A and B are shown apart, each in its own frame.
Chain A
């Protein structure tokens, strides 16, 4: 089955700097890669996702890149703000034909943005 590795497990940056979180996956059939943000005691919420037919997607300060050959994808946050502090999870799933695709999550990255 699918296995998702995520690193680093913790990341501390100064406000205004960029943050990069990287994930690798094992199942070459995976074709959907979302990123979720989870604040302390809150539910995970989708912040951006990418499908395997594109290599990059951007939404304001957040971008995700995908390298299908190397089976890795990354989250980039620019101009970080204190409210970006949270745990970020990458995930992967596959979806083909009539088969469902449950998300397999990485272990998370705790991002701290220092004012």
Chain B
């Protein structure tokens, strides 16, 4: 596709439910990042993939958060037993750069609201 695609754009979950957020990066982009953006804040790093390898997951806030990119393209961020503090926009970004320090192309984000 022309850009990074994320789905769903909006998700409302009841506290305790599991959610799965999908990211379809730009074709050929090696690096993929997940960020969490709370209202009025900057994006906070969650995790980074280089192809299918998850090279850095230091930003995942708890073991309820899990991300995968099994075939090195589409990625899924899963949040188990959602809590109210998980409410945020989850941004996915991809980059052609193998080193990860090139221009990041962001998706529109998935806005998660936990009631």
Contact = CB atoms under 8 A, between A and B. Distances in A.
Q: Do A and B bind each other?
A: yes
Interface residues of A, number: 25
Nearest to B46: A102
Interface residues of B, number: 25
Contacts, number: 64
Contacts of B108: 42-43
Main secondary structure of the interface of B (DSSP, over half): loop
Interface stretch (A13-21, A53-61, A62-70, A93-101): A93-101
Nearest to B59: A102
A87 B64 CA distance: 30
Nearest to B40: A108
A14 B43 CA distance: 28
A45 B106 contact: yes
Interface of A: 6, 31-32, 34, 36, 42-46, 49, 89, 93-95, 99-108
Interface of B: 4, 31, 33, 35, 40-45, 48, 50, 55-56, 59, 91, 99-101, 103-104, 106-109
